[in-house]
Structure 1
Amino acid sequence: MDVVPSVIRATYEGDFRIHLTFHDNLQGTLDFQAWLEGPVFEPLKDQDYFQQFFIDGGTVVWPNGADVAPETLYEAVKSSTAAQRAGADGALRC
């Protein structure tokens, strides 16, 4: 059985970007702006509210219950890390 990725650290970097560290030490910064669609994510468009995220169940969660699946975050960071090695700026814009 495959191990479900787990976020162990998340640090706000400004402009809706969060630096994530996973259980296997994979790290990267993601731009969450494109994920802020739909009713549950609407409050997150306020940067002050967006910064209130915390880690629960191995993923990033906000007080209103909004979250992004850890598998989605992990794959996005893997893609971002590959892009960074190829010379991109390293922040995945989803």
Structure 2
Amino acid sequence: MLLDVVNFVFLDEYKILLTFENGEKREFDCATLIDQKPFHVFEDKNYFKRAKIEYGTLVWPNEIDIAPETLYVCSTPYEKVS
């Protein structure tokens, strides 16, 4: 089942808190992608922070995106630490 991303919040470093359309919150660490093209541009934190949601997934300028199924499968359930 494909779940769209409906909201996101930047956490520390390259971690992003994602909210999926089913209400589930999951944490995705983009640091695991930085060594791969085209994601090496994330080293520029200003560029990284330009993410937005389009068509149910995260996208960046210059047609860079991460598939929503990748965001879901490669993320972990978010548990807020008090």
**TM-score where L is the length of structure 2:** 0.83
CA deviation map 1:37-88 (0-9, x unaligned): 33321211111110110001111111121111101111223xx129x6xxxx
CA–CA separation in structure 2 for the residues paired with 1:66 and 1:36? 13
Identity of aligned residues (%): 30
> In the alignment, which residue of structure 2 is the partner of 1:40?
38
- Structure 1 residue identity aligned to 2:42: L
CA deviation map 1:6-58 (0-9, x unaligned): 00001111201110000001102211111123332121111111011000111
Any unmatched runs of 5+ in structure 2? none
Could you list the runs of 4 or more consecutive aligned residues of structure 1 that deviate by over 4 angstroms after TM superposition? none
> Over the residues paired in the alignment, what is the CA RMSD in angstroms?
1.9
Structure with higher strand content:
2
> In the alignment, which residue of structure 2 is the partner of 1:5?
3
Contact 1:8 1:21 in 2 (8 A): yes
Q: Write the mapping of 1:1-94 to structure 2, written as runs, cut at 5 A.
A: 2=1, 4-77=2-75, 80-81=76-77
- Structure 1 residue identity aligned to 2:73: E
- Structure 1 residue identity aligned to 2:29: D
Structure with higher helix content:
1
Any unmatched runs of 5+ in structure 1? 90-94
Q: What number of residue pairs does the alignment pair up?
A: 80
**TM-score where L is the length of structure 1:** 0.74
